[in-house]
Amino acid sequence: MNRNQPASDDICLWATGELQQPDSRYGKTPFRIYNSVANLTKAQREQAPYFVVWLHGMDGGWIEPSYLKTMQMRLHRRVVFMVPKNPESTPEGLNFNWGCCFYKKENKNNLGYVLGVLHKGFLTDLSEKISNLATLFEAERTMVMGYSMGGFGAFQLGGFAPDVFDVVVSAAGYGLGTLTPQGEMYDAPQPQATNNFEDFLGQVASNMVRVPIVLALHAEHDGMSSYRDVKAIIARLHEIMEAEGSNNTVALLQVPDDKANSDKSRKKASTRRHHHYFNYTLLDAHSEDFFWSKLRDLLKTAPYRLEIKCPQEVEKVGTLSAKLGGGMPPCPNCPKPAAEEGEEEQMTKYQEEFEEELEEEDEEVEPRDPAPRLHRAQEGAAPSQDPYGMAGTPDVLSEEEEEEEEDDEELQCAGGQPAPRSRTAPRNPRRGYQWRPHTQVAAEKSKSEPRLEEGEVGPKGTRLRPQAALPQLHTREAKRPRIEDLP
């Protein structure tokens, strides 16, 4: 991650980085980190920040920092933004809509997000990066937000790793697959599109219900993102919440029809299909009453994300372990890991080689005397010399104790000087000796050696150097995370 100089006092680009991956499972995924503190007092700037992940739409461009600044001012809080870019295509031709992947043949008529599958590897890496950064910045709340395709990505992340997020906001979003009949809107093949959507609900909705706040912002007559699908997602969340008795918040905020094309655009109003309400929902004055005031009120009373509220519950759920994604199957478009291919045969081969090496070592080692070693105290010892009443009692060492004594012998052969043992002060009733503390040995050794003053020459030409002052750590200023320490 590279550090950047601040552009202004209100919002600055703190760092840039790239999502690391063990192999080329997905394309290059850069991201940026912004810090925004506009219109805040000194006390507010020192509060724990909100960590907000912003996911862009199909245009694929970086969001304007001024837009992020406006969102931060609406939250009335210091905000650290993470702004990733959608993964680039792989050399094999695998394309991405955030965590949804598909090949060119599946993207015919731009239906990749209807016929694709969720890419478990990418969602795992991105979720872990978000979790690590939120922990680094000591964020009080972690949110994921996006518009259009970004709203689709917000649903993916919220359902894949619900313990990482306090808030999921999908504006003009959609799901994987669709309930829209063939011949309408997407003209997606049925019943395949419906089956994909039901699978998406089963994979995502059952997990996303654990996120404290889930909000969808959508226009009913949106001609590019299906309102029917988003309404079905919210309805499924409500069903699960009622069955589980959850107190989390799930809501669908409907955009008025006269605001669905309110964004300024060069396109004619008749061709904009009621999908242009970015400013109305997130930026301009109307967004305050429509969305931001509601979100601020919910944040005051909503429980915290599972990641910091109840780590034991997270470990049991395992959303960031082998069970990540609620048992979501691996991406069928990805090659199987090498460990899964012939794993059993490979482990059997390693076991046989290991056993052969052990047999060779046993043949080389001389047989040991099976008779146990006996340690006796001197007869007639004074009570003070035998506080545990072990005089004349044999002490048979266990295998671990014998190994410790062998280690001591090896240390002495190698030139080490183990501390002498005292037979009169046993460490425990089973062993008739005790290690002397290394601090005691060092203190006795220092008494026998002459002490040098600063600048004085010793017998072997040694000179005591003045000790440099150590840097002061853990100051108040050190509480702010350093960009060079970012993972």
Q: How is 5-49 classified by DSSP, letter by letter?
A: --S-SSEEEEEEEE---SSSSS---EEEEEEE-TT--HHHHTSPP
Q: What is the DSSP string of 272-341?
A: STT---HHHHHTSTHHIIIIIHHHHHHHHHSPPPHHHH-HHHHHHHTTTSTTTTTSPPPPTTSPPPGGGT
- Percent of the chain scoring above 70 in pLDDT: 59
Q: What secondary structure, in 3-state letters, does 41-84 show? A: CHHHHCCCCEEEEEECCCCCCCCCHHHHHHHHHHHCCCEEEEEE
Closest-CA residue to 423 (of 432, 431, 414, 415):
432
Quick check: 270 pLDDT over 90? no
The answer, yes or no, to whether residue 333 has pLDDT greater than 80, is no
CATH number of 11-301: 3.40.50.1820
Q: What is the pLDDT of residues 431-480, one digit of tens each?
A: 343 444 444 545 555 555 555 555 555 554 544 444 444 334 333 333 44
pLDDT tens profile 376-412: 334 444 444 444 344 444 445 556 666 666 655 555 5
Residue 201 DSSP one-character state = I
> pLDDT value at position 391?
46
The confidence score (pLDDT) of residue 117 equals 94
Q: 398 versus 133: which is more confidently predicted?
A: 133
Sign of the four-CA dihedral 57, 59, 62, 68:
negative
Please give the C-alpha separations between residue 205 and each of 155, 158, 160, in angstroms, as whole numbers.
9, 9, 9
Residue 289: the pLDDT is 97
pLDDT at 138 over 50: yes
The pTM assigned to this predicted structure is 0.66
What's the CA gap between 116 and 400, in Å, rounded? 58
Which helix (H) or strand (E) element contains residue 3? strand 2-3
Is a pLDDT exceeding 90 seen at residue 156? yes
Q: Which of 22-26, 100-104, 318-322, 408-412 has the highest mean pLDDT?
A: 100-104
The pair of three-digit structure tokens given for residue 359, joined into one six-digit string: 């047999």
pLDDT at res. 361: 57
Between helix 149-160 and helix 120-136 the angle, nearest 10°, is 80
CB proximity list for 402: less than 8 A, separation 6 or greater: 373
Mean pLDDT is highest, among 23-32, 289-298, 339-348, for 289-298
> Which tens digits make up the pLDDT trace of 167-224?
999 999 999 999 999 999 889 999 999 999 999 999 888 899 999 999 999 999 999 9
Percent of the chain with pLDDT over 90: 53
Average pLDDT, the chain: 76
pLDDT at 264: 81
Residue 376, phi then psi, degrees to nearest 5? -120, 145
Which ranges of 365-398 would DSSP assign to H, the alpha helix? none
Which token pair is 321? 């372990």
Q: Which residues pair with 254 in a beta bridge?
A: 218
Identify the pLDDT of residue 23.
Answer: 73
Q: What angle do CA 177, 112, 240 make, to 5 degrees?
A: 25
Amino acid identity at 204: V
pLDDT > 50? residue 316:
no
Asked if residue 130 lies in contact with residue 84, where contact means CB atoms within 8 angstroms, the answer is no
* CA–CA separation, 439 and 437 (whole Å): 5
pLDDT confidence band for 228 (50 / 70 / 90): very high
Specify the range with the lowest mean pLDDT, choosing from 207-221, 241-255, 260-274, 381-395. Answer: 381-395
Query: Residue with structure tokens 């999921």?
Result: 168
Domain coordinates of the chain in residue numbers? 11-301
